[in-house]
């Protein structure tokens, strides 16, 4: 009898919960759902397939879209990056801030402009740190960074300096291009390493990225760059509509040369009419609250106009 009573009570509770959900749904004007094999799909939704372009290239090197495998791999990355709306929109907004600087350096270093999209897929144009320790816009590991003349120690890590890191990335690209003669191969090697790419070429006896069987990450890598390039170049085609006011803008900065040790950077920031947070915002390469100057001189960036940072009371 006790079990029967508990069963009846459970049914009453479930019925009440169902009624309350219906009331909530009606109040919120939530759409009705069609249930099929445990998946709930809003009847009001419309998912549109994204067609791949008729032709596409990386650094002027054409992609063979007649190859079914190549078409499918490009298609995958276009679908993923088009419908990952929040991430793609935020990266577009950041690109407006950072691309002018990156484009200028790529041009000065004689590296194709398409490499700016490599920075997008590496970091989303944020100074991120990977689980393996790769850091910054271009995701340099400590040893590679030092090989390309970026200072990395406890107090200073120039992998966090977008301008210097971009210069170092250009040096890497040009050195790899001397070896491979293909910018597409350079991009793939940037992901898997020059030695790894060379081993794959030698083992498989082909020297075209699109004909190589590579690890899953590298096999997607160049296609991710291509997809981002296509979407960023033709945003409205992929239904991304951003106004000029939506985009982030580079702030006007001035640079102060530092030739003596600063014992307390927070104190130094206050003396220059900013605070430690603003100092680190524009100089993320400063890793501690101290800057020791030995041989190298440094340039610290601060806003030309500090008034927007002032707290009003």
Angle at 55 between CA 184 and CA 58, to 5 degrees: 20
Angle at 14 between CA 10 and CA 17, to 5 degrees: 140
Termini Cα distance of the chain: 70
CATH code of the domain occupying 57-246: 1.10.530.10
> Where are the domains positioned within the chain?
57-246, 253-309
pLDDT at 306: 84
Whether 26 has a pLDDT exceeding 50, the answer reads no
Rounded-to-10 torsion of CA 153, 156, 158, 163: -170
Q: Which of 81-85, 153-157, 191-195, 203-207 has the lowest mean pLDDT?
A: 81-85
Is the pTM here over 0.85, yes or no? no
- Give, as one character, the DSSP assignment of residue 253: E
Model confidence band, residue 51 (pLDDT cutoffs 50, 70, 90): confident
pLDDT at 17: 44
Model confidence band, residue 1 (pLDDT cutoffs 50, 70, 90): low
């Amino acid at each position: 009898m006790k079990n029967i009573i508990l069963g009846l009570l459970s049914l009453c509770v479930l019925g009440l919960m169902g009624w309350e959900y219906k009331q909530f749904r009606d109040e919120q004007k939530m759409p009705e759902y069609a249930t099929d094999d445990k998946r709930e799909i809003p009847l009001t939704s419309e998912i549109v397939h994204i067609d791949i372009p008729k032709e596409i290239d990386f650094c002027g090197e054409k992609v063979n879209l007649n190859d079914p495998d190549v078409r499918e791999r490009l298609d995958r990355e276009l679908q993923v990056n088009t419908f990952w709306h929040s991430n793609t929109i935020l990266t577009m907004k950041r690109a407006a801030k950072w691309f002018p600087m990156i484009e200028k350096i790529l041009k000065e270093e004689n590296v194709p402009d398409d490499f700016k999209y490599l920075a997008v897929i590496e970091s989303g144009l944020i100074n991120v740190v990977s689980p393996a320790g790769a850091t910054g816009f271009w995701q340099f590991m400590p040893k590679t960074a030092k090989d390309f003349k970026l200072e990395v120690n406890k107090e200073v890590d120039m992998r966090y300096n977008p301008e210097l890191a971009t210069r170092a990335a250009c040096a890497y690209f040009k050195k790899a291009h001397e070896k491979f003669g293909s910018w597409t191969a350079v991009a793939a090697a940037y992901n898997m390493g020059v030695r790894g790419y060379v081993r794959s070429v030698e083992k498989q006896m082909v020297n075209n990225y699109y004909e190589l069987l590579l690890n899953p990450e590298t096999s997607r890598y160049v296609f991710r760059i291509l997809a981002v390039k296509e979407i960023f170049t033709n945003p409205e085609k992929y239904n991304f509509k951003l106004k000029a006011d939506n985009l982030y803008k580079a702030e006007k900065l001035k640079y102060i040369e530092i030739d003596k040790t600063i014992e307390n950077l927070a104190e130094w920031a206050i003396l220059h009419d900013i605070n430690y947070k603003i100092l680190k915002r524009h100089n993320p390469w400063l890793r501690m609250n101290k800057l020791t100057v030995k041989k190298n001189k440094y340039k610290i960036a601060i806003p030309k106009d500090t008034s927007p940072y002032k707290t009003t009371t």
